Every structure is written in C-alpha cells, then in structure tokens.
Chain A
Amino acid sequence: MAVRSSSGLVAYVNARLLDPATGLDAKGALLTNGETVADVGPGLFQGGVPSGIEVVDCQGHCLAPGLVDMRVQLREPGEEHKETLKSAGEAAVAGGVTSMVCLPNTTPVIDEVATVEFVARRARKIGLAKVYPYAAATKHLDGKELSEMGMLAEAGALAFTDGTRAIRNAQVMRRALGYAATFGLLIVQHPEEPSLAEGGMMSEGELATRMGLSGIPAAAEAIMLERDMRLVAITGGRYHAAHVSTAEGLDIIRKAKARGLPVTCDTAPPYFALNELAVGDYRTFAKLSPPLRSEADRQAVVAALKDGTIDAVASDHAPQDQDSKRVPFAAAEFGGVGLETLLPVTLELAHNGHLGLVEALKLITCAPAAILGLEGGRLRVGASADLVLFDPDFAWKVDAKAFRSKSKNSPFDDRPVQGVALRTVIDGRPVFLRDG
C-alpha cells in the first residue's frame, strides 16, 4: 500500500477527504511533512506525486481527522487490571481515535498537578492516542472543596469534572462554576441527582418493575440539569452535560441554549443505539450510568443529535473486568467499553439517514475539540497530522473478545455494524494498520 521514502513527506492520495470543520467532502489528497499536515485539498497531486515522497493509496476510502473522544475512563493509575494507558491507547487507535480525554476517577484521583503531569507523560511515552486529562472539580472527587483549577489548567487539565459522580451540593456547584469562570474554564457534569439514583440499577419503569430491579427515574437527570442551568445563569460559568440520555433532560438543554447560556452537552452511542430492552435477561454489560432509557428517550436523543441540541458524541469508555460484571445485576459495576465501537455506531446515524456522513463525523471530531479547546479534529495545514482512514460501509460484527481493550464489557457485543478504521495516523506516524 505504501512506498517508503526518507524525506519525511507522506502523500495520502486517492482519498475521499472529509473535514467536518469545513464541510469538505471531496476526492483529493493530503500531504504530511513530519508531524504536521503540509497540504490538503481536492486539487492536490492531480498531476501525480513528485518522487521522493512516500505515497499511501487510500483506494477511495475516507480520510478524516482522527477521532476526538471526549469521555473515557483509563483506569491507570490504580486499576491497571481493568485498563492501562497502553491498552486503552491500542483500543483507541484501532477505533480511529487519536485524542482521548480521560476522567479523573483514577487512584490517586487526578486532582494534583503531579497526577496531571504523570498521565500526560506516560501517554506521550506510549505514543499511541494522545491523552488529555480532565481534573477533578473537587478535591478527591468528594464534592466538598474546590480543586486548584487554575494551576491544574496550567499543568494541562482541559476541563473539570467529578467524573462519574455528580457535583451534588448546589453551593459547591455554584462556586465551582464561578471559580472556573474566573479562568474561563469548563465544568463537566454527570447530570444525575444522586439521591434519586442511589440504589438504582436501570431506568425506572415497567421493565424495571417486571425484572424486580430498582430504577433510576428520568427525572434524576432533569432535576440536576434544571438546577445546574439556574446556577449557570447566575455564575456565567461554562457548563457541559455529559451523556445526556432523556427527552426531558434534552429539553432543558435545548431551552438553555435558546436563552444563550454557555451550555453544551454530549451523549454516548448506547443512548442513541440502544434502549432499556438491552438489559433484559439481566445483561450486566448493558448496565450503564446513566442507565439505558426508554425507546421514547432514545428517539429524543436521535432528534437532539439532528437538531444540534447535542453537540458531541463520546464513547463513555468504562472498562470493567469480568469480576465486576459476571455477578448478579445488582452487584455489577456500571459502564461499558466504547473506544472500538465509537466510529461504527456513530456512523449508524448516517447509515440510518438521520445525519449526513460529515455531520455524523463532526460529533466525534471537531465538535468535541471545539468544546474543549483542542486544536485537533480538523484537517488544517500546519496542524498535527492526526488522521484516520476508514471505510464507512465495511460490514462486520462486533466481537468483544477481539478488542484491544483489556476489558471486554461492551453493550454492543455481537451487533452487526458498518464502518471500520483502516489506518490511524498520529503526528504523521502510522500507529494502526488494519490487516487484510
């Protein structure tokens, strides 16, 4: 496929260029010089590639910016038996992800400059997908004292969140938003009223009742979002709601945006591709947080993706080992892995006619990058050459056993999907090549 050279120049020719930031969708070529994009466009190399330049024939496949996954749990440091920076890095590049933003819920918690630097340094050394940390919004994620947001941001923390825990105390949230706004920083919330979610295992409703499992009402999301919108209004702080899953929650975000509040949100593939029926048979791999919701909620998520209420899609990658999942439903941990299914499941939005291919891609490239102030997620001359070459139509069946991720807890196991990363490039270096 490639002709080697030593010039440091690589030409990706015969590509379908997709750049969601500009809406570009055209046949063309891209040239990288060392670590950066040197040129890109439909007209490039029309007269052939000059000698001395390494050539990659894209065979008409899609060449796009590498995916930016704005919500992953990496488990290192502290729970390396579930996932490590290396195994997550391998899973990421196999899924076309070149940048991932990790939650601070490690052990120790990422609430100190030293931990931020540890994660960044370890990830750089591994050299796979780039890792950017969120730092804790409150020390030890215990929802009481603010973390040193200013200094953590200077050390490289992209935004602040208590991860899988909601910032529960309204006064603490108000101060967190206000303090973050001092420096123009973003607060990311897990929007779920903890007192309503406590003890709940799945979405509240008929199915939970039939299964005899305690439920988490959709109102838990709405109540927290409604409260937070009011706090955003009085503080002016930037706010991002993670993995919004309910129709009511999305309505609140939609209204807040219409009022001009500095609010964004994302969802994760399970919330537009699955509903609560996936937990039937007590499938613990579909025990997620927030829980999979009703079909009406799923449809509302799709509608919100179409109308722009939802800004981005994140994998919500949450590795759990067998011992955490092969237990009775009530005892099982929440979460599913998602790095290797982010691309194909998001592409379902295009295959099902809800969004165009470029629009669907935007949700996992330039849109999350813009929310977090990352430069990636677009094809821009001079920017880092973080790229994914993918075949959007290639049909395959998810096989969790084949995942690079150390944990195999996917809610999408056995799902027939379309779309696969063929080659992933980071800083001009090929870091993943699909066999065959």
Chain B
Amino acid sequence: MLLDLADGYVEQNRSLDKRKNLLRGRTVINLFFENSTRTRTSFELAGKRLGADVINMQSAGSSVQKGETLIDTAMTLNAMHLDVLVVRHPDSGAVKLLSEKVNCAVINGGDGSHEHPTQALLDALTIRRSKGKLSGLTVAICGDVLHSRVARSNIYLLNAMGASVRLIGPRTLLPSGVDRMGVEVFHDMRRGLENVDVIMMLRIQNERMRGNFIPSIREYFHFFGLDYEKLGRAKPDAVIMHPGPMNRGVEIDSDVADDVERSLIRSQVEMGVAVRMACLDMLTRHLPITEGAA
C-alpha cells in the first residue's frame, strides 16, 4: 500500500525527470509553527515533484506571531481554497484541532511530543528496503522517549507491522505507562541492544541535558550514547537510524553515525521525500475534484 507506492517514488526521485503532474492545480501549504528544515523541505520537494503549488508559511513573522488564534488561522486558510495542509506545531494535539476546522486534507508534520507519522512511515520504508521486511524484526528506540513524537509514532507503526520494539533510556527520559504500549523497556543499553536488528537513536535536546532529566552530556554519552562498543551487542548486520538533526558526541558517536555499512541516516532523508509524495498522492485521490463538492 502506502509503502509500496513510496517505493515507486524512490525510483522516480532517482531518475532525471523527477516531476509528475499528478497534483497539477492542487495547492499544498506547509504551515510550520516550529522551526524545521528537513521536514519542511521534504514536504516542499514532495509537493513540487508531484506538480502541486507549494507554499511555506512559518509562524515567525506571520499573523500567528501577531496573536491570531489557531482557529482564526484555519478560517483564513479555508478562504484560500487549499487542498492539503501540512502542519508542524509545538503543542501536542494542535494539529488535530486545526484539522477539525479546515476543509482540506491535513497531514501532521509533527505535533509536540505526540506524533510524527510521516517520520514513522519513512523509517518503516527505510527499514523495509534495508531488511526486506518489518515483521519479525527487533527494533530498539534509544534515548529521550519522553519528549519524542518520533518514538511514539514509531512504536505504533512498528507494532502494527509485526516488529517488536524495545525502548532504552534512563528512567527520567522514559514516560510513565510507556511499558503498556507494547514495548520492552531497558535501562541498560548494552542489554537492550542484545541481538537487535535496528537501532533508532533519538535526539537529545541539549537544553534539557543540564539539570533534572540527566546530569550531564558526558554521563549521558557514557551510558546511552551509541558507540562501537555498545553497537557490538546488536546483531552484526544491525542498522542505525536517527531522525536528525544529530548531536554528535551526545547520543551518537561520529564514527558510528558516518559508518556507511551500518548507518541509514542519509537514506532516511531520501525515503522521507518519497513517503511524503505517497502521502500527498493517496490523500489527494480522495479529495473532491471540484471545489465546493465537500
């Protein structure tokens, strides 16, 4: 389904003519209330390669900064007759609120610590292309699960696809009740990485490092940073992923991040564009052809 469709777009993106006119005449707006380079660019490319008109709106300098409420923003957008809205917002649930108020398709580009579904989809595609399957694999998600929307989306998706999920991190970075989300929890990274097929590292926000959650970067890297020594516990062909942007020397050793044999981090970015094309493609298939039919 969506992943198969995305597979096709990977090939298209690798060919010389990357454009398709599937979405000609459609308008896609990337509405980003939070800074993002990778996700926004990825959605922008995906839309343009399908022939849509893509417009980026950042909250900085926009009417949102001037105090407009989220619902007023939705009303404004409705008046512009767009087809797809991609939203990134720092508050969990904000995307859902917006989606209830706009009459176009909405893609969650990441909301607070809630979800980042296209990241999970691109991760799934990356794993499937590397390992040939998702079912039966053991995937370790390591680090700051507490603040991570990527982790939550991946837990749902990987479980749905039949992979088994492990979470690794200090207790202060694993939210309560997470053990009831169909995962195995480890506090010792060496044990947690035992025989895993895939290692997903999560970004640690440096601003959260000092103080309460974790004593220091030095200590975090010592116990939870991915280096070759800890990587040795995983399967010999285990692959490494990271949603980016990476903090080298905090959650991941530079050599490991750059290991072409093991690291899929660059491939994740490539798959991101393809997966987002597939999302736009599938969503617009169900949109009314003529304005006002809805």
Residues of A that sit less than 8 Å from B by CB: 139, 144-151, 171-172, 175, 178-179, 181-183, 234-237
Contact = CB atoms under 8 A, between A and B. Distances in A.
Given A178-B171, A179-B170, A236-B171, 17 more contacts: A144-B211, A146-B172, A146-B215, A148-B219, A149-B219, A150-B219, A151-B218, A151-B219, A172-B212, A175-B213, A178-B170, A179-B172, A181-B171, A181-B187, A182-B170, A182-B171, A235-B171
Contacts of B223: 150, 182-183
B170 A148 contact: no
Interface string B214-255: 111011001100000000000000000000000000000000
Q: Which secondary structure dominates where chain A touches chain B?
A: helix
B290 interface: no
Nearest to B169: A182
A149 B219 CA distance: 8
Question: Chain B interface residue count: which class?
Answer: 10 to 19
A139 B212 contact: no
A237 B211 CA distance: 19
Contacts of B215: 139, 145-150, 179
Nearest to A154: B222
B167 to A, nearest CB: 13
B210 interface: yes
B176 interface: yes
Contacts of A183: 187, 223
A151 B187 contact: no
B176 A171 contact: no
Contacts of A182: 170-172, 187, 223
A178 B214 CA distance: 10
B180 to A, nearest CB: 15
A148 B213 contact: no
A171 B172 CA distance: 11
B15 to A, nearest CB: 49
A148 B172 contact: no
A210 B43 CA distance: 77
A171 B214 CA distance: 13
The 10 closest A-B pairs by CB, nearest first: A178-B171, A182-B170, A148-B219, A146-B215, A182-B187, A148-B215, A145-B211, A178-B172, A182-B171, A179-B172
B187 A148 contact: no
Contacts, number: 52
Contacts of B219: 148-151
Contacts of A175: 172, 212-213
A176 to B, nearest CB: 9
A144 B214 CA distance: 12
A234 B187 CA distance: 16
B129 to A, nearest CB: 34
Contacts of B187: 181-183
B151 to A, nearest CB: 17
13 contacts: A139-B215, A144-B211, A145-B210, A148-B215, A150-B222, A151-B218, A151-B222, A172-B212, A178-B171, A178-B172, A179-B172, A179-B214, A183-B223
A178 B171 CA distance: 5
Contacts of A139: 215
Nearest to B176: A234
A148 B171 contact: no
A144 B211 CA distance: 7
Nearest to A138: B215
A146 B211 CA distance: 6
A119 B214 CA distance: 25
B171 A171 contact: no
Contacts of B211: 144-146
B51 to A, nearest CB: 51
Contacts of A179: 170-172, 213-215
A197 B215 CA distance: 28
Given A151-B219, A151-B222, A182-B187, A146 B171 contact: no
B94 to A, nearest CB: 26
B142 to A, nearest CB: 13
Nearest to A169: B212
A237 to B, nearest CB: 8
Contacts of A147: 215
Contacts of B218: 148, 151
A145 B212 contact: yes
Among the interface residues B171, B218, B223, which one has the most CB atoms of the partner chain A within 10 A?
B171
A148 B215 CA distance: 5
Interface string B178-212: 00000000010000000000000000000000111
Contacts of A146: 172, 211-212, 214-215
A183 B176 CA distance: 17
Contacts of B222: 150-151
